[in-house]
Amino acid sequence: MNLDPYRNETPPRREVLPGGAVLLSVPMRTAHAVTLGVWLRTGSQDEPSGLGGVSHFLEHILFKGTTKRSALEVAETFDRMGAAVDAFTTKDMVAFSIKVLPEFFVEAVTLLGEMLFEPEMDPKLVILEQDVVCEEIQEALDAPEDRLHEAFSGQLYGSNPRGRPILGRPGVVRTFNSDLLRREHRRLFAPANMVISMAGNIMDGFLEVVAETFSRAETTEPAGPGYVEEESNAPAAAFIDMDLDEADPFRLDITSPIIQSYFEIGNLGIPFHHEDRVPVFLLTNMLGGGMSSRIFQAVREREGLAYTVYNYSDMGRDIGLVSCSGSCSPDKLERLEDVIRMEYYRLISEGVKLAELDSNRAQIKSQLIFSLEGMVNQMYRAARNEILYGRFLPVSELVDLVDVVGVDDIVRCADAYFNPDSLLVAVLGPEGFSPSSDPRP
């Protein structure tokens, strides 16, 4: 009996289309549908200076009609096929995806290609979508986690473009016009900047349809990491009128008329190519990833200081961060900070027992192997591996990397990235709170 079937994983079929776009395909015999994603190798951190938010805005405007169909006709056609359509923008990439039954695949791909390569860019619709995106930015203002994270990451990243908000700022978004958007569209949708990934019930002829559809992209100067113009000054925190050049490197306090205090406690981390990538994944999980993690147990289970508390890492192309995030009552915040620091000190000074490391290895390896299940996961994995690493990373290779992480690696990374003496503590919460003024019933 083969107890490690994931070691027999077949890499995606890879083809370079005319012009330079990469097509990846993962056939799955048990799938009943097909999913396809069109990915751009660049995201918000690659935008030219002064055009923050343009990638996200283009993601929006491409749904607003083509030279052949109105936005309503595009939406009605996808709905008639029962297609699930999605799109998103991150700091690293932009993606458009469809999930559809095989009998509608050719029509869905044709429509997606029309949407991506033949946008109308109607000036009236651009103005209308500016209102929509500004509403989205305003909505983020009312989401404490989003607002705090933008300020926290903006202060840590400083002048690095990764500190820019994905959505942009209203004043910049209002400057986008049809001509500018057409220029940026040609640059971003250059074939060399595109990865097309598909998975599921891939039937005869599907690959040829996709290749034909996405070989017609215009060949122009590709958008790459080297395109970005460096900011002369550190960006102000998103949505907050403050100069991060003058900020305390260890403390960031933002007042807001809310009940809870939201916190981010962290430090600069590593890029995704760094040799500490896997140890940091393990360490982050050990500190605040699962129910048995140190921070979760100390903060929530032992002292009841918070309902939500977790650790995470953000690894970018050339920089990253690590953080402990969550929310608590303002009167518990001081104790919560102390507990988190004490847990970090304890790990660094006392080390880690092998049983704890083995438990976390099992958790991370399970998450990796679970990613093999489901065609959407397979489509995502293939595209992200191509964009981030330039090659396919078998799960077995990642599992082997997890297995060789030792106790000394964990402690070394804890001291390097979670040292309690170098943490930035960012808090968004009410002003002038005292236990006697608690507004809760």
Give pLDDT tens digits for 58-107: 999 999 999 999 999 999 999 999 999 999 999 999 999 999 999 999 99
Angle (CA) 377 378 381, round 5°: 85
Q: 145: which residues sit within 8 A by CB, 6+ positions away?
A: 262, 325, 327
Task: Determine, yes or no, domain membership for 405.
Answer: yes
In a domain, 352, yes or no: yes
Average pLDDT of the chain?
A: 90
Segments in 231-332 forming alpha helices (H): 277-288, 294-295
* Residue 223 identity: A
216/343 same-domain check: no
Quick: pLDDT tens for 132-161.
999 999 999 899 999 999 999 999 999 899
73, 194: one domain: yes
Looking at the chain, the whole-number percentage of residues with pLDDT higher than 90 is 84
Q: Strands 22-27 and 194-200, how do they pair?
A: parallel
**Cα–Cα distances in angstroms (integers) from residue 235 to residues 154, 167, 230, 241, 428, in the given order:** 7, 14, 11, 11, 19
Q: Do 259 and 375 belong to one domain?
A: yes
Number of domains in the chain: 2
Q: Give helix then strand counts, H and E, for the chain.
A: 15, 11
Q: Which domain holds residue 266?
A: 246-437
Residues 287 and 393 in one domain: yes
DSSP strand pairing (251-255 vs 261-268): unpaired
Question: Whole-angstrom Cα distance, residue 114 to residue 63?
Answer: 10
Cα–chain center distance at 273: 16
| pLDDT of 56 above 70 | yes
Is 220 contained in some domain? yes
CB 421 within 8 A of CB 267: no
Residue showing tokens 């005869």: 204
Domain match, 271 and 351 both: yes
pLDDT at residue 4 in the model: 77
CA distances from 43 to 49, 193, 225, 242 (A): 13, 11, 9, 25
Tell me, yes or no, whether 234 lies in a domain. Answer: no
Q: Count Cα atoms within 13 angstroms, Cβ side, for 322.
A: 29
* CA distances from residue 30 to 26, 33, 229, 376 in whole angstroms, order as listed: 12, 9, 47, 13
Identity at 69, one-letter amino acid code: R
Q: What amino acid is encoded at 396 in this protein?
A: S
- DSSP letter at 228? P
Task: Please indicate whether residue 8 or residue 181 has the higher confidence score (pLDDT).
Answer: 181
Assess contact for 431 and 259: CB atoms under 8 A: no
DSSP 3-state of 19? coil
Query: Looking at per-residue confidence, does 382 or 9 come out higher?
Result: 382
Looking at 161, 194, 226, the residue that finishes a domain is 226
- Per-residue confidence at 219, pLDDT binned at 50, 70, 90? low
* Catalytic one of 15, 47, 59, 107: 59
Residue 97 CA to residue 116 CA, distance in Å, equals 11
Query: 252 and 220, same structural domain?
Result: no
- The pLDDT, as a whole number, for residue 280 is 97
Same domain for 262 and 167? no
Judge whether residue 230 has pLDDT over 90. Answer: no
Q: Which residue has the higher pLDDT, 373 or 182?
A: 182
256 in the same domain as 128? no
Known catalytic residue: 59? yes
